[in-house]
Amino acid sequence: MHTTVGIIGGGPAGLLLARLLHNAGIDSVVLERKDRTYVEQRQRAGILEQATVDVLRSAGAGARLDAEGIPHDGIELRFGGRAHRVDFPELTGGRRVWVYAQTEVVKDLIALQLTDGGPLLFEAEVHAVEGADTDRPVIRYTHEGREQTLTCDYVVGCDGFHGVARDAVPEGVRTSYERTYPYSWLGILADAPPVYEELIYAHSERGFALASMRSPSVSRLYLQVPNGTDPADWSDERIWDELDARFALTAHPGWRLKRGPITSKAVLPMRSHVTEPMRHGRLFLAGDAAHIVPPTGAKGLNLAATDVIVLARAFARLKETGSTDLLDAYSDTCLRRVWRAEHFSYFMTTTLHADPGQSPFETRLQLSQLDRVATSRHAAAELAENYTGLPLDTDL
Ligand code: FAD
Ligand code: DHB
């Protein structure tokens, strides 16, 4: 089989890229190692930036998002027993975010691709990319029990952090930058109405907590826990009690979360990682295959979307004009945004979490930083601009 753009991975990056290429009249094949149900059920991100919403709409994948997505105009920060709201539109000239789960984005994109798009193969596991620095790269994969090859004009690795595409960039050519964190998140889904109409990010000496949502009747909640935590050690009651303790407000001592049956529990490790460059010859890396952020600040999915928007524009330019200028600029264009998001995610993570080795001095510094956001328009605007995402065409 031959295609113009061979896409490894049918997560949000690969599926959105396939859609944008299809709309630009460029053919592609998506190879995804898991089955459709697995990919559609995988619980991950929940917040979409304006630019991500805009591209999903313009790509024809916005109908359910418009009907079921919940626009949010701010977040609440809780620290030192008090609450402070950050108002996004007021601080950013009108920008906001949407609560619409990654599972739903993936379902929408898969449905579109299967009814009106190029091949999307599930249970197609890629083993290797060969000839990335030649004119005819080859993807080797297994599908329906057979070893197969896909020859491509270009290959895009959208296969996440544990994929194989990054390994096709020779070690001497790529540099990785990485940081791990001494804590993880215990994430739960509960059949309980959200505690508040917006997200709450809570700093407490017991550790970080985040209250998010999936719908008016389903809450998504996260607790900072030590690395290596077994979710089985956290009974439902222990989780709710700990959430109540971390979200406690001095002025409202009776404030409690609305409890309900917990339907899923998982522990997520935290990592920052960037691989440079994001291109080698005719192989491009996009999304988590090239970079990971810790989830505080909800940048992962949005960064993946931005990479493929930039890449799809570059392929469209090549098709229309024969020029590779945007493809040549891809890595540098994306890395500027990537590093901004890396910094913001690091800032949110280290400002809001309790490092196990943290001194009282460092806790005071965190509280001072949060107080600064609560009292300075500049500091609040800096947070709001980063959280809602910079406009795609901005020169950063
Ligand atoms: P992925 O979603 O990882 O998709 C990669 C795809 O490639 C997968 O479908 C995988 O099966 C496939 N693949 C891998 N290897 C191969 C192969 N060899 N052959 C074929 N296919 C392959 N972000 C947030 O903003 N908020 C969150 O709460 C949040 N929670 C997260 C929880 C977890 C457990 C993880 C791992 C990430 C989370 N993220 C979160 C990050 C966000 O979900 C990712 O940034 C986003 O999924 C990136 O999309 P992607 O398409 O680049 O990669
Ligand atoms: C969600 C995840 C995040 O990492 C975040 O910062 C906000 C919301 C979520 O899953 O809803």
* Tens-place pLDDT, residues 66-117: 999 999 999 999 999 999 999 999 999 999 999 999 999 999 999 999 999 9
Cα(214) to centroid(ligand 1), Å: 18
For residue 394, pLDDT beyond 60: no
Q: Is the CB of 47 under 6 A from ligand 2?
A: yes
Query: What is the distance in A from the centroid of ligand 1 to the CA of 291?
Result: 11
Q: Is the pLDDT assigned to residue 393 strictly greater than 80?
A: no
Q: Tell me the per-residue pLDDT of 321-357, one tens digit each, with 9 for 90 and over.
A: 999 999 999 999 999 999 999 999 999 999 999 999 9
Helix (H, G, I), strand (E, B) or coil at 279: strand
Q: 201, 222, 280, 291: which one is catalytic?
A: 201
Determine if ligand 1 sits within 6 Å of the CB of residue 74.
no
Q: In the 8-state DSSP scheme, what is residue 259?
A: P
Nearest CA to ligand 1 atom 37: 44
Active site residue 72: yes
Q: Of 72, 107, 280, 353, which residue is the catalytic one?
A: 72
Q: Nearest CA to 347 among 89, 77, 71, 84?
A: 77
* 330 neighbors 310 (Cβ within 8 angstroms): yes
- The CATH homologous superfamily for domain 2-72+98-179+270-354 is FAD/NAD(P)-binding domain (3.50.50.60)
Confidence at residue 86, expressed as pLDDT on a 0 to 100 scale: 98
Ligand 1 geometric centre to CA of 295 (Å): 12
CA-closest residue to ligand 1 atom 27: 45
pLDDT at 254: 87
Here the ipTM equals 0.96
Ligand 2 centroid–CA 139 distance in Å is 34
Is the pLDDT confidence value at 263 over 60?
A: yes
User: What are the strands of the beta sheet with 209-215, ordered from one edge?
Assistant: 82-87, 74-79, 199-202, 209-215, 218-225, 175-190, 262-276, 291-292
Cβ atoms < 10 Å from Cβ of 165? 27
pLDDT of res. 396? 41
Q: Residue whose CA is closest, atom 15 of ligand 1?
A: 163
Res 395: pLDDT: 44
Q: Taking the model in full, what pTM does it have? A: 0.96
Average pLDDT, the chain: 96
Distance CA 339, CA 336 (A): 5
Domain ranges of the chain: 2-72+98-179+270-354
The pLDDT-based confidence of 129 (bands split at 50, 70, 90) is: very high
User: H helices of 194-324, where?
Assistant: 236-246, 300-321
Residue 283 has pLDDT above 60, yes or no: yes
Report the Cα–Cα distance between both ends of the chain, in Å, rounded: 40
Ligand 1 centroid from CA 227, angstroms: 20
- Per-residue pLDDT at 16 exceeds 50: yes
Percent of the chain having pLDDT more than 70?
Answer: 99
For ligand 1, whether the C-beta of 11 sits within 6 Å is yes
Mean pLDDT of 129-143: 97
Calculate what percentage of the chain has a pLDDT beyond 90: 96
Residue whose Cα lies nearest atom 31 of ligand 1: it is 44
With beta carbons less than 8 A apart as the criterion, state whether 160 and 126 touch.
no
Residue 255 confidence (pLDDT): 86
| In the predicted structure, residue 281 carries a pLDDT above the cut 50 | yes
Q: Tell me if residue 201 is catalytic.
A: yes
Range 262-281 average pLDDT: 97
Q: What is the dihedral of CA 127, 43, 338, 384, to 10 degrees?
A: 170
- Is the bond leading into 277 cis (omega within 30 degrees of zero)? yes
Neighbouring residues of 365: CB distance < 8 A, sequence distance ≥ 6:
none
Q: Which residue has the higher pLDDT, 159 or 396?
A: 159
Rounded to 10 degrees, what is the CA torsion of 32, 36, 38, 40? 110
What tokens does 26 get? Answer: 């460029």
Sign, CA torsion 4/8/13/16: positive
- Catalytic, out of 154, 181, 330, 387: 387
- Determine which residue's CA is closest to atom 7 belonging to ligand 2: 298
Contact 82, 249 (CB under 8 A): yes
